[in-house]
Every structure is written in structure tokens, then in C-alpha cells.
Amino acid sequence: MKASKYLLPTARENPQDAVIASHRLMLRAGLFRKSGSGLYHILPMGLRVIRKIENIVREEMNNAGALEFSLPILTPSELWKQSGRWDTMGKEMFRIQDRHEAWLTLGPTHEESFTDLMKGILKSYRDLPVNVYQIHPKFRDEIRPRFGVIRSREFSMKDAYSFDMDQEGLEITYQTMRQAYRKIFARTGLVTIPVEADTGAMGGTGSEEFMVPSDIGEETLLISEKGKYRGNQEKTPVVYSDAVTREAPAKANSTKMKLKKVHTPNCATIADLEHFLKIPAQHILKTMLYLADGRPVAVCLRADRNLNEVKLKNNLHATEVTPASAEEILAAGSVAGYIGPEGLDESIPIFWDESINTGREWVIGANEKDHHYLGYIAQVHKTVDLALAVGGDPSPAGDGILQEVKGIEVGHIFKLGYKYTKAFEMTVLDENGKPHMPIMGCYGIGVTRTMAAVIEQEHDTEGIVWPISVAPFEIVLVSITKSEEEDGRVGEFYKAMTDIGLEVFWDDRDLRPGVKFTDAELIGFPIRITMGKKYFEAGDVEVQIRRGKKNLVLKGNSFEILDQIVNIRKELFADLNSRMEQNEQPS
């Protein structure tokens, strides 16, 4: 491809609204252009990267035995109502009406569609196991799109769905997909960390995310010192090293005799209360009032811990949990900043975090402005893990303490179980001719997000440093000529490279060499070949390897130089494989 026949809208200045490297470089390198909030045009150079990532995904999915489909992006609401997710997906799902006033959605994912489709195709146990997938756009109405295509409203995704006869079969398929994902991300040049994750609105019994370590990651990963435990923060259980044996629950109202009400003026925050009473937060029990799908619930946990709202939502089987307003707290018989379990409206259920197992007596809110109780003993039969795990906590696997790492999610695999086959009454005939319900798995990869994650992991001050496997072009040929004859000689060499199958972008534009070199570094071509004065005088071809900016001079006749270029390309692929083997985390 010749640059003179191509569109190369590079820019020298950083866009004002781009705050992370991948967003800035995608726009500056002419890969993407912004269309609207969370919406982007993909330009030819960017589309070449997307297609290469898609091809890697497709090859590994096909190697794993999956079958590619293409389903409509627009799906009828009836399918979502049948699964129960029409009301639970929340405002992130785009809902539209057609001219007949029928409701549809722009699919954020396709469990319903594939289950409905496969119900009519799979008839017997002989048809299983089967794994089906597609690669095409998905839509989510993000409340605050940001970070370019890392959190956008339209994005490209690979979603796959497996159907097995039993749990044992699902486990085999799940592990096959797990290994396929590791290969996919290794081939794209990404270092990923698989971590335990919450299943969220997808449902199911277990899931795992593939995370790219990055300072700009929106997810917090918790990894133990010896690597036995790796989990998303929202999923990680909290282990307390200072647990004590609490007294058995006593008779009702017996604790009130021990309570001492104290005046705590202007102590509506834990920090104020600590300072006023000279008591550390570890001895204070905070009570928070939430609305779970509109109904009030209270949560009690140690004041030095933060509530994990994902855990609360999962324990309540709720679609949405939100903190109660000051007015709603008053209606519950309390005051914001002074809520406590004693004297709260008895109709409100209280959930006790496991952190209360670390103490016997607590300071609690008195449900009265400027007042707290001392000496509270919790009369609790059951505690649940509701706190947010943090770095420094003991590892759930017992191998030291947890460390925090920020990460970008690029892939997610789920054991869905029977949620969708049950909702759609999907059965196949077993060996005895009786109806049998298949079990499902789900496996997603964000294609555009993977592209952004590669840039976040692979860039320098000059621009992108593409791994050769996903670069828009593997080689850029920069010609510095002064005559038609010299143009012809470069053209002959360009043709010779393309004839042997090399992927070359020839920058033949009538521009200064510095501009061409700057664009080459910005776009991030892995190999830069320069043909200028040294070539026309002595036959020397200058080569720069983008990673590390290693400079070489190739000598010899055209065939010998071509052989050397082919070997450089092979070495880059070998180096990519070697780096991935060294960096890949243990399974």
C-alpha cells in the first residue's frame, strides 16, 4: 500500500478530551475519530488492527472447536422478558420501539438470542457439546463514557456460548476456553492476569476475568504474595486475622442494660467520632441504610471497612442498591450520621458483616443527632461477607497478604449453569430418549478494548509500539528520493517485498524525511526500512526496529537484503512468543 493513495490523518497535538495514552494515540495516529459521546469512527489504519485481532480470536476459537455465527444486533424484548433480564439489566441497555410500537434492544450481549436459536437446532445428546460464537458490535448506554474505546457506547466484541450435557462437560469446555483465551491474548502481545470475578447480571456459578495490568485500569485486582489467589476486588472475600469469639446471642433487650448513651456533638463522620472519643475505628460499628430495589435494608460493619455494594446486591439478589437519602433515613427512625442497629425501625432487615466477629463491644449510633452508644454487644445469629477487600488483607488462599493492582478487563468467561436453558425450556433427548436440560457457559472478549489495552501496554513518548502480530502494517518503507529514477528503484524493491508476501506500507509522500519518520514512530510500525542516499550510492538499506529503536544496516544484493528482512520479521515473532512465555502468569 502506498501512502500517497492512503488516508493518513496524523496529528502532532494531543486532543483536549483524551486523558489516557491509548485514547490520545488512537486519535493522533489516525486510527479513530470521535463521532459523539462514546462513539468513534474507525479509520482504515485502525480497522486493519481490529481485523488482525479478530482473526487471532477467530483462529483460536476455531482451533478450540467453536462454530462462528452472526446473529441480529437488534433483538426483540420478548426474549429478554423470558429470561427476566428486561427489567434487571438497568439503564445501560439501549431500548427502542419500532413503528409498530414493539420494544427491541440493541444487544449488549446475546445469551437470550443464542439460547432461543439453539433450542430449535439441538435435539439430541449426540448434538452436544457445542460451542457457538460471533464477532460483531455491541451496545451499552454508559452513563459516563470515557477513556476512548475502553468505555464506549458501541464496541466490537466476541461472545461465545457453550452447551453441554452436564457439569463435567461444562468444566472441560470452560478449561478449553480458558486456554484459548490465554493463547489469544499472548498472540496479541498482552500480558494478562486471570482473576476470580463476580458474575453480575450474566448469572451463573463462577467466572474469571482476564486483566491487563495498567495504572489507568478501572478494576482493582487483589493478588496474593505467592500468586495462589488472584481476584477482582468486588469478588474477593475478606479474611480477618483478628477474629474473636463473640458471646452467644442473648435474650431480647438484654443488651440495652449495658448501653451508655454519650453526647457526641458534630460527630456525624467516623473520623470526627474517632477524634472526639479517642477510640479507633476498629472499635466502632457503623450502620448504613440502603434501598435494595426500593426497599430499605441496613448494613452493619466495622467502621474501618468499606461496604462492597456488589456483595450486598448479590446477597439480596437485588438489581440495584443505592444509599438512602436523609429523608429516607428519617423515615426509618434515625438521623444521617448517627444510624445504629438499636432503635431502628424493626421492619427493616439488618445484615451483619463478618467484621463484627473481630470485637465484643462496640460504639454505635444512637439514632439521635449528636449521640452515640458505648458498650454495644451485637446479638447476631448470622454474619455475611459484605466488606470490600483491600491490599494488606490476608489472602483467602492463606499465602501471605494481598497486593492491589489496577487492571483493564479484556476478557470474561462464565459458567452460566441452567439460567437460560431453564428460562427458555430448552431440552435435548438423552441416551434413554428422555428430555434433558443442557448446561451453558459464556465467553466474551472485547476486541476494541483489547486494541486499546495493547496500546496502553505498548507505547513510548513517540507513539505506539505495536507487537508485530497486530500492527496495521508490519513494515513501513520510507523513501527519500530526488528523481524519477530513484523513485523507480524504490518501487522495484517495494514490489519485490510484496511479491514474497511481506506486508509493506510505502511512505512515498512528497514530504520531508523528518515528517515521515515522526509518523512512522507515532503509528508504531514494527519495522522501518529507509531507502535514501546510502542506498542509491552504496546499496545499503537502513532498518530500525521500533521496539527498542535498534538500528541496522543491511548489505548485499536485493535477494540477500530481502532474506535479511524476512529473518528480521521472523525474529520479531519469535521475540513476541518468548516475551509472552516469560511474562505469562501461572494458571
Beta bridge partners of residue 439, listed in sequence order: 164
The SS3 assignment for 479 reads strand
Q: Report the C-alpha gap between 421 and 436 in whole angstroms.
A: 10
| Dihedrals phi, psi of 410, to nearest 5 degrees | -115, -15
Q: Is the peptide bond before 129 cis (omega within 30 degrees of 0)?
A: yes
Category of 202 on φ-ψ map: left (φ > 0), alpha (ψ -120 to 50) or beta:
alpha
Distance of alpha carbon 349 from alpha carbon 334, whole angstroms = 15
Q: Count other C-beta atoms under 10 Å from residue 35's C-beta.
A: 10
Give bridge partners of residue 262 from the DSSP assignment: 372
Provide the phi-psi class of 398: left if phi over 0, else alpha when psi is between -120 and 50, else beta: left
pTM of this structure? 0.85
Virtual CA dihedral for 422, 425, 426, 429, nearest 10 degrees?
110
Upper half-sphere CA count for residue 331 (Cβ side, 13 Å): 13
Total residue count of the chain as it appears in this document: 587
CATH of the domain spanning 17-237+402-457, picked from 3.40.50.10300, 3.30.930.10, 3.50.50.60, 3.90.79.10: 3.30.930.10
Could you tell me the sign of the dihedral formed by the alpha carbons of 511, 512, 517, 519, in that order?
Answer: negative
> Residue 581: how many CB atoms within 10 A of its CB?
9
**C-alpha closest to that of 116 among 83, 139, 87, 86:** 83
Locate the domains of the chain by residue range.
Answer: 17-237+402-457, 254-376, 475-583
Name every residue whose Cβ is closer than 8 Å to that of residue 47 and which is 6 or more positions away in sequence. none
Is the backbone of residue 87 left (phi > 0), alpha (psi -120 to 50) or beta? alpha
Cβ neighbours of residue 56 under 8 Å, at least 6 residues apart? 184, 187, 188, 469, 470
Closest CA to 414 of 392, 437, 445: 445
Q: Can you tell me whether residue 573 is helix, strand or coil?
A: helix
Residue 214 pLDDT > 70: yes
Strand partners, 156: 137
Higher pLDDT, 463 or 379: 463
Amino acid 468 reads I
Percent of the chain with pLDDT over 90: 82
C-alpha cell read off for 270:
467516623
The reported pLDDT for the residue numbered 200 is: 57
458, pLDDT greater than 70? yes
Range name among 161-165, 167-171, 357-361 with the lowest pLDDT average:
357-361
- 206 pLDDT band, cuts 50/70/90, is confident
CATH of domain 475-583: 3.40.50.800
In DSSP notation, 54-81 reads: HHHHHHHHHHTT-EE----SEEEHHHHH
Fold of the 254-376 domain: YbaK protein (3.90.960)
The set of cell numbers assigned to 362 is 462496640
pLDDT tens per residue across span 390-431 = 999 999 999 999 999 999 999 999 999 999 999 999 999 999
Mean of pLDDT values over 314-333: 90
Task: Tell me: pLDDT of 246 over 60.
Answer: no
Q: Which of 340, 338, 324, 345 is nearest to 369 (CA)?
A: 338
pLDDT of residue 45 exceeding 70:
yes
Whether residue 420 contacts residue 111, with contact meaning beta carbons closer than 8 Å, is answered with yes
